């Protein structure tokens, strides 16, 4: 069993200082009368204490070493500058294979150093502690583990002033660091696990005059690192303020979170605040940024993988330079095919079907819309165009009518006509849809049936779009609000044979005599959703 000695450190320190003060008094008396001493006097002093020494040696000491400056330098540099406490305990158990050590060091130092080029005033305190344990056997899950552990803690407090011909620097700093390390070795398999944890904090304040430039800097740096074998996680945080008399003024806050493994690219997340008095900046590095309102687990706003998602948005004024992506998915289409129109008794005949996929972002609803035109030769004078739509959930061949439009072809028939088709579903959907366009022919300006029929190649083109909107189904036309796209009128203008511009309603457009009309402008912009 080891023996432990208890020391009253305070009493011993006080006794040591008392002895130093006593010696100072003696030295002060000797130094003040040093000029009257000669070698014989010094020999007499040594003879009194029964020391046999050669007079030549004494003369050399007196003349070259024992000067007033020497005594003062010894006192300043060897006794007044530094105070150190060093304690250590050890334990070794050979039979058990255990070794342990604990140590602590306290260093208090103050000094003034002057050289030809400058002066340094320093006061610092350094504390170091360490504990180490080796050879402990721990019962593992399957096998016994041989463990060793090391911990350490260090603290440094510094106050320092450096001055020379070109600069003056005043610095105060506190640096604290702690670490812990654990090494586990499976004595049977030889498998080794090494784990480390480190934490460091550095606080500093510095004012400097360098080459005529005055700079004031305050900084706090924190570093945390954890590691198991090659896997590690690190947090670095820096807060800094800088002000200079040249107009430089900055305040920054940097935070980096780094996770990875050795020999591989780590994943980095972080943020940075900066302000230079003119501009401020806030930068975030992350895969996903989310904002919650505190009452739901659904973010009101998030940025994920470069995409921005907004749950509910209120915008007073919106200006869009280039609208892309899934907010407004516009798909152009075109086609042609031989079609036979008429007689009326044949009913509606299919022109074409157009598919519109669901919004590319799952769960985001959109209002399906279509804008197109088709052309062909018609024998009869009025075409009824029926627009229908089906949803994937109910079967893409299970159609629901959206609206029926009328279009005058020609009086007497057998002439080329261009017929527009426009419409929208009455509510947002979150699935694939399919539009269908059908045509039925009538005579007598759409009031009577006809037995006439004419076949030929028809051509069509247009776009379908998924317009993201709210649940509201209201559509606005000319200041009035209606509930369906079918009720939204189509307006237009024509330039008659006299050169006058005439505005026509939907019914007027359907029944207007277009023969010899040089300019027809049909506006379908009145049909729009609420976005």
Instruction: Tell me the percentage of the chain whose pLDDT exceeds 90.
Output: 30
For residues 282, 286, 292 and 297, what is the CA-based torsion angle, rounded to 10 degrees?
A: 180
Query: What pLDDT does residue 417 have?
Result: 85
CA angle 154, 218, 119 (to 5 degrees): 75
Give the 3-state DSSP-derived string for 476-503, with helices as H, strands as E and coil as C: EECCEEECCHHHCCCEEEEECCCCCEEE
Give percent of the chain above pLDDT 70.
66
Contact at 8 Å (CB) between 422 and 372? Answer: yes
Which of 132-136, 285-289, 290-294 has the highest mean predicted lDDT (pLDDT)? 285-289
**Where on the phi/psi map is residue 247: left (φ > 0), alpha (ψ -120 to 50), or beta?**
left
- Choice between 297 and 36, residue whose per-residue pLDDT is larger: 297
Mean pLDDT of 168-197: 87
- Domain residue ranges of the chain, discontinuous segments joined by +: 38-80, 82-211, 230-315, 327-523
Phi, psi of 449 (to 5 degrees): -85, 170
User: pLDDT (tens digit, 9 = 90+) per residue, 295-311?
Assistant: 777 787 888 877 888 77
pLDDT of residue 420: 92
CA distance 300 to 281: 23
Q: Is the pLDDT of residue 354 over 60?
A: yes
Q: For residue 494, give the nearest of 519, 523, 525, 513 by alpha carbon.
A: 519
Strand pairing report for 82-93 and 192-210? unpaired
Residue length of the chain = 531
* Conformation bin of residue 462: beta by default, left when phi > 0, alpha when psi is -120 to 50: left
Residue with tokens 């059908």: 438
Residue 140 DSSP SS3: coil
Domain 327-523 top-level CATH class: mainly beta
E strands present in 360-453: 367-378, 382-391, 400-408, 415-424, 433-442
CA distance 418 to 403: 19
pTM: 0.49
Q: Give the model's confidence band at 220: pLDDT under 50 very low, under 70 low, under 90 confident, else very high.
A: very high
Mean pLDDT of all residues in the chain? 76
Across 440-451, b (16+ Cβ under 10 Å) vs e yields bbbbeebeeebe
pLDDT at 177 exceeding the cut of 90: yes
Greater confidence (522 vs 202) lies with 202
Residue 461: predicted pLDDT: 93
Please measure the distance between the N-terminal and C-terminal CA atoms of the chain and give it in whole angstroms.
Answer: 85
The token pair at 455 is 């076949």
pLDDT in tens, 8-23: 445 555 555 565 556 5
Q: Using one digit for the tens of pLDDT, what is the confidence trace for 389-423?
A: 999 998 888 999 999 998 887 655 677 888 999 99
Residue closest to 100 by CA, chosen among 127, 74, 124, 136 = 136
Task: Tell me the sheet residues that pair with 367.
Answer: 467
Q: Residue 7 corresponds to which tokens in the numbers above?
A: 């020391």
- CB of 227 closer than 8 Å to CB of 213: no
What is the C-alpha separation between 392 and 50, in angstroms, rounded? 118
Closest by CA to 107, choosing from 88, 123, 119, is 123
């Amino acid at each position: 069993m080891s023996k432990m000695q208890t020391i009253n450190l305070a009493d011993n320190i006080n006794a040591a200082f008392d002895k130093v003060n006593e010696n100072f008094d003696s030295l002060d008396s000797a130094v003040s009368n040093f000029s009257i001493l000669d070698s014989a006097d010094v020999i007499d002093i040594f003879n009194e204490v029964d020391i046999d020494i050669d007079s030549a040696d004494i003369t050399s000491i007196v003349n070259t070493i024992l000067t007033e400056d020497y005594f003062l330098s010894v006192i300043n540099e060897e006794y007044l500058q530094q105070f150190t406490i060093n304690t250590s305990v050890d334990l070794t158990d050979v039979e058990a294979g255990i070794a342990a050590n604990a140590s602590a060091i306290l260093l208090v130092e103050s000094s003034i150093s002057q050289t030809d080029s400058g002066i340094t005033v320093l006061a610092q305190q350094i504390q170091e502690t360490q504990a180490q344990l080796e050879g402990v056997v721990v019962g593992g899950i399957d096998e016994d583990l041989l463990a060793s552990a090391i911990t350490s803690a260090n603290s440094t407090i510094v106050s320092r002033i450096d001055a020379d011909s070109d600069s003056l620097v005043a610095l105060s700093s506190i640096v604290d660091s702690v670490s812990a390390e654990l090494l586990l070795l499976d004595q049977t398999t030889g498998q080794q696990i090494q784990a480390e944890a480190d934490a460091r904090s550095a606080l500093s304040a510095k004012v400097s005059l360098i080459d005529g430039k005055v700079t004031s800097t305050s900084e706090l740096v924190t570093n945390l690192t954890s590691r198991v074998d090659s896997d590690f996680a690190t947090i670095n945080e820096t807060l800094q303020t800088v002000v200079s008399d040249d107009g430089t003024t900055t305040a920054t806050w940097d935070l980096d979170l780094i996770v990875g493994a050795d020999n591989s690219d780590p994943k980095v997340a972080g943020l940075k605040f900066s302000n230079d008095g003119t501009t401020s900046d806030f930068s975030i590095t992350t895969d996903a940024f989310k904002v919650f309102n505190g009452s739901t687990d659904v973010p009101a706003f998030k940025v994920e993988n470069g995409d921005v998602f907004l749950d509910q948005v209120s915008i007073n004024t919106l200006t869009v330079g280039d609208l892309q992506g899934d907010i407004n998915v516009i798909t152009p289409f075109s086609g042609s095919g031989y079609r036979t129109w008429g007689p009326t008794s044949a009913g509606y005949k299919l022109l074409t079907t157009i598919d519109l996929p669901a919004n590319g972002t799952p769960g985001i609803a959109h209002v399906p819309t279509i804008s197109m035109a088709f052309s062909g030769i018609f024998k009869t004078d009025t075409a009824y165009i029926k627009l229908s739509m089906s949803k994937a959930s109910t079967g893409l061949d299970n159609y629901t009518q959206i609206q029926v439009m009328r279009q005058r072809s020609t009086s007497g028939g057998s002439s080329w006509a261009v017929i527009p088709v426009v419409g929208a579903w009455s509510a947002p959907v979150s699935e694939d849809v399919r539009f269908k366009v059908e045509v039925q022919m009538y005579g007598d300006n759409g009031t009577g049936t006809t037995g006439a029929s004419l076949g030929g190649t028809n051509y069509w083109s247009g776009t379908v779009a998924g317009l993201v909107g709210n649940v509201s189904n209201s559509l606005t036309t000319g200041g009035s609000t209606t509930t369906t796209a079918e009720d939204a009128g189509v307006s237009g203008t024509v330039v008659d044979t006299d050169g006058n511009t005439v505005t026509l309603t939907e019914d007027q457009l359907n029944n207007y005599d277009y023969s010899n009309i040089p300019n027809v402008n049909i506006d379908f912009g009145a049909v729009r959703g609420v976005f």
